Amino acid sequence: MHVNDVGNTLVGTVLDNGAVVDISTASNIYIIIKKPDQTTETKSAGFFSDGTDGKMSYVTVSGDLNQAGNYKIQGKVEINSSTFYSNISTFKVYCNI
């Protein structure tokens, strides 16, 4: 990915003690993005498929990838009165000429 790219799909999987969490009944689904300058943004996400596989996705929009460097993402879902998080993943966004 490169600075100012739009339309990249970020995917996360929610696990509980190593087991996939069925998120198909989630009331809220989010992807938290931590930028290289350490600021965070919480974005509304959706199911990557039907949610039974624990996978969520978010498609980047203008402004999401506005810095070069290492980014971190983490998924968050709310199901009934419980909140679940995915593992934290890291990816790099490269400069343009």
- Residue 62 belongs to some domain of the structure: yes
Do residues 75 and 86 lie in contact, with contact meaning Cβ atoms separated by under 8 Å?
yes
Helices (H) and strands (E) in the chain, counts: 0, 10
Do residues 87 and 74 lie in contact, with contact meaning Cβ atoms separated by under 8 Å?
yes
- Residue 4 belongs to some domain of the structure: no
Rounded to whole angstroms, the Cα distance separating 18 from 84 reads: 12
Give the count of domains, the chain. Answer: 1
Say whether pLDDT at 34 is over 90: yes
CATH code: domain of residue 36: 2.60.40
81 compared with 41, residue with greater pLDDT: 41
State pLDDT tens for residues 59-81: 999 999 999 999 999 999 999 98
Q: pTM here?
A: 0.87
Distances (CA, A) of 85 to 55, 89, 93: 11, 12, 23
- Residue 3 belongs to some domain of the structure: no
Strand-pair category, 28-34 with 69-79: antiparallel
